Amino acid sequence: MDLKDLYRDVILDHNRQPRNFGAPAHSDAHAEGHNPLCGDRLTVWLRFDGDRIADIRFEGKGCAISTASASLMTEAVKGRDKAAIKELYDRIHVLLTEPHAAADASLGKLAALGGVSEFPARVKCATLCWHTLNAALEHSADAVSTEQ
């Protein structure tokens, strides 16, 4: 295993300077994620424009993989709708868990997380933010349904 493959420059950069970091003044939905095994905690806030994510922010304490993954995720999902996010997550899952997955150009910068698949103990670090995003999307669905 090669450390450089896990800690690529993009990962280190997003760890040091996470994008879309910090609680927003207003949000339509949010969710908290927690990985009790390693103590990682993460909150994701969403603002919607119809079905699309108009803005997304996150805050949390975690390792470089979890922080960079969340940061990259916020950049990748902004402007997308739920169906597109679900499809993106399925591709990410392949990237994170299948060591010999074919390169997927549609992933853009997220492809930098490809090294994680060689480190099975770290997959959960990279997926925490996606599960949290999913929970936030579901909360928003709940909120909508209770208002109707």
Measured distance CA(139)–CA(26) in Å, rounded? 16
Regarding 64 and contact with other proteins (CB under 8 A), the answer is: yes
Query: What residues have CB less than 8 Å from 142, skipping those under 6 apart?
Result: none
Binding string, residues 74-113; x marks residues near other proteins by CB under 8 A: ----------------------------------------
Looking at the Cβ atoms of 7 and 93, the one nearer to other proteins is: 7
| 56 makes contact with other proteins (CB under 8 A) | no
Phi, psi of 27 (to 5 degrees): -150, 160
Query: Given the complex with other proteins, which of 19 and 124 has the nearer CB atom?
Result: 124
- Nearest alpha-carbon partner for 58 in 85, 23, 34, 100: 23
Q: Is 41 in the site for other proteins (CB under 8 A)?
A: yes
The pair of structure tokens assigned to 87 is 């499809």
Tokens found for residue 3: 């450390």
Is residue 122 close enough to count as binding other proteins by CB under 8 A?
yes
Residues that bind other proteins (CB under 8 A): 1-3, 6-7, 12, 16, 37-41, 61-65, 119, 121-122, 125
